[in-house]
């Protein structure tokens, strides 16, 4: 089995790096504690975290679709 090819299902280092970056954005440690400012009815930290999550969804979908199985 090929251990490095993305087509074999292994995840490469740059993909891991992107996921770590997105994880750091999803968890709102960077947002001031006690801040409850609202935007569109949601606390702003919620919108920041959801935006990062949406980027994660797009990146994941792109990763899934960039390679196709041999019979497809």
Give the binding site for another protein (CB under 8 A). 1, 3, 8-11, 19, 23, 26-29, 31-36, 38, 40-43, 45-46, 49-50, 53-54, 56-58, 60-65, 67-72
Q: How far apart are CA 70 and CA 72, in angstroms?
A: 6
State the minimum distance, in angstroms, from the CB of residue 34 to another protein. Answer: 6
State the minimum distance, in angstroms, from the CB of residue 13 to another protein. Answer: 14
Kindly report the backbone phi and psi dihedral angles of residue 42, in degrees, each rounded to the nearest multiple of 5, phi listed first.
Answer: -110, 145
Q: How far apart are CA 10 and CA 40, in angstroms?
A: 40
Residue 17 or 27 with smaller CB distance to another protein: 27
Name which of 55, 46, 47, 50 is nearest 21 in CA terms.
Answer: 55
State the minimum distance, in angstroms, from the CB of residue 53 to another protein. Answer: 6
């Amino acid at each position: 089995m090929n251990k490095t090819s993305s087509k074999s299902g292994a995840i490469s280092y740059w993909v891991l790096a992107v996921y770590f970056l997105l994880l750091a954005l999803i968890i709102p440690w960077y947002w001031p504690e006690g801040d409850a400012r609202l935007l569109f009815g949601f606390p702003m930290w919620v919108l920041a975290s959801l935006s990062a999550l949406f980027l994660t969804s797009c990146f994941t979908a792109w990763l899934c679709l960039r390679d196709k199985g041999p019979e497809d």
